[in-house]
Structure 1
Amino acid sequence: MMAMFFSAALFSCSSGENENQGADAAEEPGLAQEQTTDEAAATEETAAADDGKGVGPVTTVEVGADIDEALAGTGKTLFEGKCSACHQLSDQKVVGPGLAGVTERRKPEWIMNMIINPEEMTKQDPTAKKLLAEHLTQMTNQNVNEQDARAILEFLRKNDKAS
């Protein structure tokens, strides 16, 4: 009987010690501070990398003050064929967000990169990640080239100027 008591006491002491070992390791001086420093550096790197232009081939877009009507017309046709099943030109959500005012909220490069490169955008761009989390649907890659994305951008600019 006495042997069982000592065995039980020994077992409970040793198992308690093992459970606390992980907690003690996490409380080592400098470990928590080191993790915080690494997280801060990653956040700074992300902030520095996020210039509002998104992730993709488009780094610079020249848009004029006036709408290029011919380009916007091409963009309208492309939008109706590739985008309108998921997006409205109002602020109403369908599958994806409504696009009213998008050219006022986002840089032209971001819009074009989202059209051309939606998967990488939702993996790497903070704004696109938030949109994916909010709408819970990955934007489908419609295989739009840069020229066509520029036309869609011009159509969206025309829509926003008309509002």
Structure 2
Amino acid sequence: MKKLIIITSIAFFMVACGGGAGSDVKPTTDPYDTKATTESGNPSYDPKRGEGKFTKVEVGASLDAPMATNGEKVFGVKCSGCHKLSDEKLVGPGWKDVTKRHTAEWIMNFVTNTDEMLNKDPKAQAQLEICLVRMPNQNLSDDDARSLYEFMRKNDGIK
């Protein structure tokens, strides 16, 4: 029985640590690659480098109350476990004045395409360095993301 355990362990070790055919495969894309560079050859800062489909979000001067009410429900279910409505950090940053710090497009791209934004966007990466926890993808629909943004506006005092 001991021989069987030893042989099995050695075989497992060889398979797990072996080079195999795929060991020299390199990633096909670099998430930090950018075409624009500085004189030193380093990538230049591009605040719009993140990923997402929202390029222009129409935001009215006044609050859309029904949309904000729906956004509050989304917050209660998907966001309140990690975010506070004040400036206090819980797991993630507090939401006070978030609509003053970020554009509607950036916020909606971040909440609907979190992983790509954290991989590519400098502002999202800076926030990750502070929070030390990646925001999970909440699988928000576009409508839920827009409602959530309107609730953020309400939280920031827009009437």
TM-score higher than 0.5: yes
Q: Which residue of 1 aligns with 2:99?
A: 103
Runs (5+) with no aligned partner, structure 2: 1-37
Amino acid across the alignment from 2:125: K
Residues 1:51 and 2:54 are matched in the alignment: no
For residues 17-56 of structure 1, what are the structure 2 equivalents within 5 Å? 37-39=40-42, 42-43=43-44, 46-47=45-46, 50-51=47-48, 54-56=50-52
Rg comparison, structure with higher value: 1
TM-score by length of structure 1 reads: 0.70
- CA separation in 1, counterparts of 2:40 and 2:155? 45
Name the aligned partner's letter for residue 106 of structure 2. Answer: W
Using the TM superposition, give the Cα deviation of residue 37 of structure 1 relative to its aligned residue in structure 2, in angstroms: 3.1
Q: Could you report, residue by residue, the CA deviation over 1:33-77 in whole angstroms, capped at 9, with x for unpaired residues? A: xx96322xx22xx42xx238x421111100001000000000000
Matches within 5 A, 1:63-142: 63-142=59-138
Indicate the SS of the match to 1:38. coil
| C-alpha RMSD of the superposition | 1.9
Residues 63-110 of structure 1: CA deviation (Å, up to 9, x unaligned): 001000000000000010000000000001100000100001100001
Query: Contact 2:91–2:133 (CA<8 Å) still a contact in 1?
Result: yes
Instruction: Answer whether contact 1:55 1:110 (CA < 8 A) is retained.
Output: no
TM-score by length of 2: 0.72
Q: Which runs of 4+ in 1 moved over 3 A?
A: none
Give the 3-state SS of the residue equivalent to 1:81 in structure 2: helix
Contact 1:58–1:113 (CA under 8 A) maintained in structure 2 = yes
Q: What CA distance in whole angstroms lies between the structure 2 residues aligned with 1:144 and 1:116?
A: 6
Unaligned 5+ runs, structure 1: 1-34
Q: 2: CA distance between counterparts of 1:131 and 1:72?
A: 25
Q: How many pairs does the alignment contain?
A: 122
Structure 1 distance, partners of 2:104, 2:51, is 12
Query: Aligned equivalents of 2:48 and 2:119: distance in 1?
Result: 16
